[in-house]
Structure 1
Amino acid sequence: MNIPNRKVALACATAALAVTALAGCSSSDDADTSSAAKTLEIVYWNYGPAAESGNKATADAFMAAHSDVKVSLTPVTGENWGTYYANVATLIASGKHPDLMVISGEGAQFVHANNLVQPINAYVEKDPEAKTLVADIAKGLIDGFTVKGDIVTLTYGWNDMVVYYNTDVFKKAGLEPPSADWTWDDFKATAKKLTADTNGDGKPDQYGFTWASNEIFPGIMPWVANAGGNLTSDDVCTATADTPQVNKAVTFLKDLITEGIAPAPMPMSDVFTRFQNGQVAMFGAGRWPIATFLPAGFKAFDIQLYPKGDTYKTVFGGAGYPILKSSGNPDLAWEYQKFTVSDEIEKQYVGTPDKPGDSIPSRRSVAETISKVGVPPANSDLFYHSIDKYPTLVPYPAPAKYSTFESTVLRHLQQIFASETSVSDGLKNMQGELSGIVTC
């Protein structure tokens, strides 16, 4: 590594490791090109053992197919995606030069706004194999990782938000499964019928619905989107947290708590437990819950679209390996990114009934095999069907300062749902804080 570039990186790191300084610290000109041309370094969010094993499996498969390439994996900690992105930015500012990083949909805006990523438009246009792969991926998945015309990455796996329902609880209540055309009123009436005081103490101990308190994505966003709103403007430059549409969605959820149909929102891990125990009849998530449910022997569930509000939009999130400008081997990094959507890797996300994948394969031809190999739920074709049939929420509200954005939104929602403030006042206060966070 040459000394001048090392000094530049350290200077940026010393300046509070500010993300806003990264545009001047992470250009491809700074990359260390003295190392062997057949090495790749990939950073990923180390959220647990599954993160390590999943990324290692992909890296091992790539090295098996490219025996002259060495792939090294660098785990990066973070409480959520937002703090992980900030920590990767710090890593790069300190002088590291990874070739690729794992991001979710929220990260596309971050890496683009902070000049960390090398768009892949030119690769897609010139690579015949890439054109074939892209043609097999839903347009919404490409658009979701495109910022200002730049394709940030191909997504190898994704999740859209659907409603999970406990089929045993529905049967016990004498209710038919929900239909795809249900409305918010239908949903509320169903959730009310599923709420019960089973032990006779005068308080509900079985609730019709709940949602995650520690994430925006499977929490309020499906409701906000189907009310016709978003938390940011389309260019992700302005906060829109106190619009009538957002107010309508949050009020609907708050009323579920007030009327005893839903408990206070809780961490997703607790949602899983209560759902399996029959204490919660419905909740919202992507495909990842089945990776917990099926190995535990729990199969009494199915899925349906979120109920339609003033509109219907598919709220989804995906993951990909964008090529970083710090890479000394961008062409090799492109081969790796392309490999992540190959048949070999995509089929891993299908899984088996005993060991299911936790994401939906991005390629339609592979995703359509999920139901054919018998992986629950019965309505699994709905996952890809929703993004093919309905417009998507693009962009997902993911400003460059996503970590601060997410924590601010969750803090104000907690106050609203705990009745510490009214919906209107809470959203007004949220908007006031976000106005200084969501900027361009």
Structure 2
Amino acid sequence: MRTRLTLSVMALAMAASPVLAQPAADITAKLTIFQPVNQQMIDSTDKAIARFKLRYPNVTIEPQFVPQPSWGEYNTSFINQVATGAAPDIMFSAIEGFAETANRGLLRDLGPLIDADPTAKAVLDELDPNLLDGMRTRSTGQLNFFPTEWNNIVVYYNKDMFDKAGVAYPADDWTWADFRETAKQLTIADANGNVTQYGYFVPGFNFGLTPWFLTNEASVLDADWKQSAVATDNFRETLQFLHDLINVDKSAPAFESGVGDSKFVAGQVAMFSAGHWPIPEIRASGLANVGVQIMPVNKVKTTVFGIGGLAVTSASQNPELAWEFVKEMTGKEFQTELADSERSIPSWRSLATTDKYLSFPDNAAIFYGSAATAKPVASPPNFAQVEEMTMRYVGAYLNGNEDLDTTISGLDSELSRAMKRAYN
């Protein structure tokens, strides 16, 4: 099925005209758009449809909002829908799904469309070149997705807890050693030895763990995302460091799935790592004295980024209209709504650097400030499989259920087999 599907959609893609004509204003057509379920996406899509209707009154747009328990499951839903012959015209995905969908030939190359479209080129001028490079499909160099928003990982910290402990706020040159000592100083236990406040929450998700590896020049996969890279001293050192925060220093709670933002607003941890998305909940909690800082460095100053975008499918019968709606969904109005929601970092630099957007938390300029040096989260065609393996082995080790040697050898073996299958 996969071979027949790939060949058929690739044939459609090659037959399609590389540059699309501007559709007539009175065209009658229907477009479908495949997206994950979240309220901000629903609201912004409804507004974009209303704006688009003013330009193309006879065009009906049908959003398909799909559950997204993980990006792997979301991408599988899209691929399965295409296989039934019900391909949508437009698809939203995060970088974790770019390669899996593009490598199957399911998406158009947007490069020729962008080159012929001054409006599109103006949008890309707002995006840091490093982020744009990270969006390209590695196997082809094509740009199959047009940028909507992105996120990175920084360290959030409760300034009141730092003040009470007499601990200096983290500086932009802090090291792993600085971080470890800070986490210890912010950990509080009662008279019985029960911890009532932890210094840090070790991120229980792949994206959140990634910058710990990157700042130590380590990674789950090699630079091409084709081979396992876990059997290295740097990877081992990173796992040991995180393990010791939990099991030796006792400055972090037991490893568990999640971001840690709920424990942060509840006053149970002084620091956690995340992107921009927890800010609405932090605001709603009433916690106001909050700062952010770059990830602490062991060998290199960097962090991770993930970016989202919209694609026009190869199977679309109205690619010119689909492209016009993609531009509507990535234009200034949409980007402004995205900035106001505070769930992500807008791809438009001008809207991610306004006084309003940078007003909270303290030092918020580091969010877009990392754009030039952040590294894309490893997103091979079998991303879901790689993520599951990584979190399974890492979780077992961090919770003391497996030793380090067995963890690394087991993960390396499974990853090596999986990557060989993915590229053969």
TM, length-normalised to structure 2:
0.90
- Of the candidates 332, 335, 338, which is equivalent to residue 343 of structure 1? 332
> What is the match of residue 244 of structure 2?
255
Measure, in 2, the Cα distance between the counterparts of 1:374 and 1:420.
42
Structure 1 position 266, deviation (Å): 2.7
> What is the match of residue 206 of structure 1?
197
Q: Does 1:265 align with 2:255?
A: yes
> What is the match of residue 7 of structure 2?
24
> What is the match of residue 357 of structure 1?
342
> What is the match of residue 15 of structure 1?
none
Q: Specify the SS of the correspondent of 1:319.
A: strand
> What is the match of residue 110 of structure 1?
100
- Of the candidates 380, 402, 410, which is equivalent to residue 429 of structure 1? 410
Measure, in 2, the Cα distance between the counterparts of 1:141 and 1:68.
36
Measure, in 2, the Cα distance between the counterparts of 1:179 and 1:68.
56
User: Structure 1: which 5+ residue stretches go unaligned?
Assistant: 1-11, 13-17
Q: Is the 8 A contact 1:37 1:329 kept in 2?
A: no
Deviations 1:379-414 (A, max 9, x none): 1111111113xx2324x2112122222111111111
Q: Does 1:162 align with 2:154?
A: yes
Measure, in 2, the Cα distance between the counterparts of 1:311 and 1:286.
19
Q: Is the 8 A contact 1:28 1:327 kept in 2?
A: no
Q: Specify the SS of the correspondent of 2:237.
A: helix
| Letter of the 1:109 counterpart | A
User: Structure 2: which 5+ residue stretches go unaligned?
Assistant: 16-26
Q: Percent identity over the alignment?
A: 29
Q: Is the 8 A contact 1:22 1:89 kept in 2?
A: no
Q: Is the 8 A contact 1:27 1:326 kept in 2?
A: no
Q: Is the 8 A contact 1:226 1:308 kept in 2?
A: yes
> What is the match of residue 141 of structure 1?
131
Structure 1 position 183, deviation (Å): 0.7
Structure 1 position 28, deviation (Å): 6.3
Q: Specify the SS of the correspondent of 2:201.
A: coil
- CA change 1:373–1:106 in 2 (3 A) is closer
Measure, in 2, the Cα distance between the counterparts of 1:375 and 1:154.
28
| Letter of the 1:176 counterpart | A
Q: Is the 8 A contact 1:42 1:73 kept in 2?
A: yes
- CA change 1:373–1:325 in 2 (3 A) is closer
Measure, in 2, the Cα distance between the counterparts of 1:88 and 1:423.
37
Q: Is the 8 A contact 1:114 1:400 kept in 2?
A: no
Q: Does 1:44 align with 2:35?
A: yes
Q: Specify the SS of the correspondent of 1:109.
A: helix
| Letter of the 1:24 counterpart | L
Deviations 1:218-277 (A, max 9, x none): 1x10111111122112222212222222222111101101120111223336x2221012
Between Structure 1 and Structure 2, how many residues are aligned? Answer: 407
Map 1:97-246 → 2, pairs under 5 A: 97-148=87-138, 149-197=141-189, 199-213=190-204, 215-218=205-208, 220-246=209-235
Measure, in 1, the Cα distance between the counterparts of 2:228 and 2:307.
23
Measure, in 2, the Cα distance between the counterparts of 1:173 and 1:183.
20
Measure, in 1, the Cα distance between the counterparts of 2:50 and 2:219.
40
Q: Is the 8 A contact 1:314 1:387 kept in 2?
A: no
> What is the match of residue 367 of structure 1?
352
Q: Does 1:302 align with 2:291?
A: yes
- CA change 1:313–1:72 in 2 (3 A) is same
Measure, in 2, the Cα distance between the counterparts of 1:70 and 1:123.
23
Structure 1 position 22, deviation (Å): 3.6
Q: Is the 8 A contact 1:228 1:311 kept in 2?
A: yes
> What is the match of residue 3 of structure 1?
none
- CA change 1:163–1:424 in 2 (3 A) is same
Structure 1 position 373, deviation (Å): 5.8
| Letter of the 1:431 counterpart | D
- CA change 1:244–1:332 in 2 (3 A) is farther
Pairwise CA RMSD: 2.2
- Of the candidates 68, 83, 96, which is equivalent to residue 86 of structure 2? 96
